[in-house]
Amino acid sequence: MDQVAGALLQTLGYALSFLYELIPVYGAAIVLLTIAVRLLLLPLTIKQTRSMQAMGRLQPKVKELQRKHKGDRQKLNEEMMKLYREHGANPLGGCLPLLLQLPVFFALYAVLRAATPEIAVPAEPVTFGAVEDAFCRPVGEPSITGTAPDQLECDTDGDGSFELSIPVAEWRERDGEPIRPRDVLTRCSPQRDGDDVEFLCQTPVGTGHLPEDSELFEAIIEDGEPFLGMYLSCSATQAQSDEAFRQCAPRGAEGNTLTLVGYYGLIALMVLSTFYQTRQMQAVSGSQQPGAQTIGRIMPVFLGFISLSIPAGVLVYWVTTNLWQIGQQYVMIKKREAGEQQAAASKPRAVEGDRQDPKPQPPPGKTGGRRDGRSRKKRRKR
């Protein structure tokens, strides 16, 4: 299972790197990735929308069955399933496309959060208490062409002074294998190794599953590759705190009001597009149940609350997915309406000149009426 997940993450990293080479904007690469996923799922999503439309057309018959079998739930379920089969409708038709998108959603989250770890072994003994709450990093600016740093610096007071310097004796991987990493590490965290202290250093967040020879990897190392003022590996919650922000942003980056506007604006766009898409789906399916309408109002707000801790790059994917689905459903709704209007226009209509109203027939026993009575009187006189 881990091998499958690793392969998916690596594939997604290669895909983002390839798309970035086409359009060297990180957010645009995520938009292109979303479009590619939606195109792959297009047959299923079209089938989903058609199933929802069929469900909408069946609502009057469903209500009639509910009225008819009000006290017999088992019979009601049997009749409803029979009705759905006869008309090719599937109440669960919208679940499969959503389930197929979830692996991509979680994989993108993992790619944007991933970093490559390396272990720095100090050349001199370090007391864990002296660096337990410190923010440490390699000395010097990260560079794609630089060599492994030989010294760390730590900010123990939280004032950005980095007054403590720690020489590095060796670098190794987590399994203990010695390595000579490039100078692309940006932050280090102290951790215990028995009685000794070592430092777990990492590359910038979002580079762990990218090819190291790709342009996207180099761009993130150099300046974090911002998109509309946002670092896509950071969340809105992280952007509010300087300490949390430097865990996901490049060295020297600082959050400000304009940065927060970008993060919260993206969340607002996600909430609004989710709300509109939900209302659109309810209109297509003809669902008028109060429970469904309440969920349609609450769910976007709930997702907006969750999005405070989700990387901005995942929200770019989410918003693009919503906008694509809204556009696709709009086109299909208009196409269905045009087909219904054309079918109604093609029905034969009676021409006014050819329509003849039948003459009213007199009731039995009164045929001829007044005229027949006069004829009888004439016969008597004769």
pLDDT tens, residue by residue, 89-138: 666 655 666 677 788 889 999 999 998 888 999 988 888 888 888 888 88
Q: Is the pLDDT of residue 173 over 70?
A: yes
pLDDT class of 184 with cuts at 50, 70, 90: confident
| Average pLDDT for the chain | 81
- Residue 118: beta bridge partners? 201
**15 and 33 Cβ atoms separated by less than 8 Å:** yes
Query: If DSSP codes are grouped into helix, strand and coil, which group holds residue 129?
Result: helix
pLDDT digits (tens, 9 = 90+) for 279-336: 887 776 655 555 566 777 788 889 899 999 999 999 999 999 999 989 988 888 888 7
Residues 6+ apart with CB under 8 A from 74: none
Query: If DSSP codes are grouped into helix, strand and coil, which group holds residue 233?
Result: coil
Q: Which helix (H) or strand (E) holds 135?
A: strand 135-138
pLDDT at 57: 74
Separation of alpha carbons 173 and 201, rounded Å: 10
Please report the sign of the dihedral spanned by the C-alpha atoms of residue 191, residue 194, residue 198, residue 202. negative
**139 and 231 Cβ atoms separated by less than 8 Å:** no
Q: Is the pLDDT of residue 196 over 80?
A: yes
Q: Is the pLDDT of residue 155 over 90?
A: no
Tokens for 322?
Answer: 């919503």
pLDDT at 382: 47
pLDDT at 288: 54
Give a three-class secondary structure readout of 8-54. HHHHHHHHHHHHHHHCCCHHHHHHHHHHHHHHHCHHHHHHHHHHHHH
Q: How many residues are present in the chain?
A: 382
Query: If DSSP codes are grouped into helix, strand and coil, which group holds residue 380?
Result: helix
- Higher pLDDT residue, 179 or 111? 111
Query: If DSSP codes are grouped into helix, strand and coil, which group holds residue 165?
Result: strand
pLDDT class of 378 with cuts at 50, 70, 90: very low
368 Rama sector, left if φ>0, alpha if ψ -120 to 50, beta otherwise:
left
- Cα of 255 vs its chain's centroid, Å: 26
Mean pLDDT, residues 361-370 taken together: 52
pLDDT at 93: 58
CB-neighbour burial class of residue 304 (10 A; exposed 0-12, middle 13-18, buried 19+): middle
Mean pLDDT, residues 132-145 taken together: 82
Residue type, 180: R
Separation of alpha carbons 87 and 38, rounded Å: 27
- Residues of the chain with pLDDT > 70, as a percent, come to 84
